Structure formats: structure tokens, C-alpha cells
Amino acid sequence: MTSGTTTMTNDTILKVEHLSMKFGGLMAINDLSFEARRGEITALIGPNGAGKTTVFNCITGFYKPTMGMITLRQKSGREYLLERLPDFEITKHAKVARTFQNIRLFSGLTVLENLLVAQHNALMKASGYTVLGLLGLPAYKRAAADAIEKAKYWLEKAELVERADDPAGDLPYGAQRRLEIARAMCTGPELLCLDEPAAGLNPKESLALNALLRSIRDEGTSLLLIEHDMSVVMEISDHVVVLEYGQKISDGTPSEVKNDPKVIAAYLGVEDEELTEAISEVEAVSGSEE
């Protein structure tokens, strides 16, 4: 669905405007606006209950927002109003893929099979949705060969080649995380949304994850991630958006956000008066430096 009404440039892949989500009397997201730029890693951070997962669920079609607009602009310039699309169309047409806080693999299938299953839609399309197509069409044979190539590519990128024939459920936790991301990449997304990808990883697994996410970005897929692990956020993000009580309290580079008194206060949980004091202190210091 093309919106044709926004003024997005090609540098922006996602624009969230005046998003609100109400659950009964609870305003989980309150008039939130932010942008994610193409070819960047954007992190969405904030204390527990700030509304991060709710934003993800609105972007990926799991929730229909109470108000607001979410526009995705593809490389081709085509725009989709995500809040108007059912979730399967967000994946299939708008090309937004996601992972969840808890790993959701086909644990009885092998690692390779997980990557092939992700390409089922492309294969069925090439078959013309018929058995004869599956058996004889050259287009299907080509698509099947492409699917295997793509799976091999992501096996290598995710450092999983040696485990390709093992059941996914037998992999260590960090490898399962990378497999989930590789599987999402096999769907060819323009925007990859990751919900706490570093949760539960040991330091070595965390480094492997960072390398994988950077290489995904460097190849041109934009990333939006929710992450609690600040070392991951500070190390790999190009842009950080900070939420508190469903509202944006800061937005900038990792170092800008890290030094923002509002962010420090949100994470330390200080009272409003103390926050005002902290802000005036920072302003006094920056004023005396000018």
C-alpha cells in the first residue's frame, strides 16, 4: 500500500508519527515520534515497562495502534503504512522481519532446514502453487537453487556451517540466536527488528552477535533493536531512541544519549526535582564552556 502522503526522503526507512497505544486505562505509548535511517542500527532503549516491545508490536502488526502513523519506505521509494497492514503483509510486502525476546526456532528441524523453511513463500511462488510446478518448472528449480545458496550464505555469516545438519534445538543458546537472525535474513528484509538479541548471551557469544549485526548493516539492511545490554547498544548502534513511560525522552548518537541527564535520571530512577537540578547543573557547565 503506497501512502504518497509523507515527506520521507530515501535516507529514512521508518517513520513513526504520533504513535499511541492504550490498553484499557493504561497509556503504554503516548504520542511517540521517531525515525530510523536506512543502513543504520537504531536502538530503542528504556527502563522496564517503558513501552519498547509495544512499539515493536505496533511496527510489526501484532498490535493495531490506538493512534498514529508508521511509514516504511523501501529502497525503491515505495511506501507502506504499516498500521494499516495485517502482520503477514508487513513481512511479505513491506519486507519487515522480526525476532522475539524468547527464541522461536523449529527446534526439531536441522539448522539448514530452518533456513530453507524461511524461504517457503518464494519457493511456492516459483512453483506457481501447483504440484506440476514443483516437479517440473525451471523457475522452481532456479528458486530452489537460490534458496540453498542463500541458506549457505547465512550459515557462513552466522558461523553455523559446522552445525548445519544438527537439530536447531541442540545448538548452544548464542548459536540459536544467530540462527534466528540468519533465518530472518533469508526472507530478504529491508528492515530487521530484533527484540533483545543479546539477552542471556555470554561475552563471547555477544561479540559474535555484534559482528553479525554489523555485517548485516554493512550489506544494506537497516536494523531496529530493543536492547538492555548497554555495552551492545553503545558499541554497535548508530542511533539511539530512549523511551520512558511510553514517551521519547532522548534521541541521538550513543554518546549524546549516554550523557543526557534525562536518560541518566530515567535509568537511576531519580525524582523530578533531582532531575531538574541535574539538568540545570549540566546547563550551567555547558554555559560556562561557551
Ligand X SMILES: Nc1ncnc2c1ncn2[C@@H]1O[C@H](COP(=O)(O)OP(=O)(O)OP(=O)(O)O)[C@@H](O)[C@H]1O
Site of interaction with ligand X (CB under 6 A): 23, 26, 28, 46, 48-54
Least distance CB 87 / ligand X (angstroms): 15
Residue with cell 540466536: 177
Q: Which pairing describes strands 12-23 and 26-37: parallel, antiparallel, or unpaired?
A: antiparallel
| Nearest of 81, 63, 65 to residue 73 by alpha carbon | 81
* Between 99 and 187, CB nearer to ligand X: 99
Judge whether 168 and 111 are in contact, CB under 8 Å: yes
* Between 86 and 128, CB nearer to ligand X: 86
| Nearest of 97, 258, 57, 287 to residue 190 by alpha carbon | 97
Least distance CB 52 / ligand X (angstroms): 4
**CB neighbour list of residue 162: distance below 8 Å, 6 or more residues apart:** none
* Between 101 and 110, CB nearer to ligand X: 101
* Between 138 and 269, CB nearer to ligand X: 269
* Between 45 and 236, CB nearer to ligand X: 45
* Between 199 and 279, CB nearer to ligand X: 199
Least distance CB 232 / ligand X (angstroms): 14
Least distance CB 19 / ligand X (angstroms): 12
Judge whether 15 and 82 are in contact, CB under 8 Å: no
Judge whether 46 and 243 are in contact, CB under 8 Å: yes
Distance CA 198, CA 191 (A): 18
Least distance CB 26 / ligand X (angstroms): 6
Least distance CB 169 / ligand X (angstroms): 25
* Between 26 and 131, CB nearer to ligand X: 26
Question: Where do the H-state alpha helices sit in the chain?
Answer: 52-59, 87-92, 111-117, 120-126, 131-136, 138-157, 173-185, 203-218, 230-236, 254-258, 261-268, 272-289
* Adjacent-strand bridge partners of 73: 79
* Between 55 and 216, CB nearer to ligand X: 55
Least distance CB 229 / ligand X (angstroms): 12
Distance CA 18, CA 273 (A): 28
* Adjacent-strand bridge partners of 96: 191
Angle at 259 between CA 239 and CA 246, to 5 degrees: 60
Least distance CB 48 / ligand X (angstroms): 4
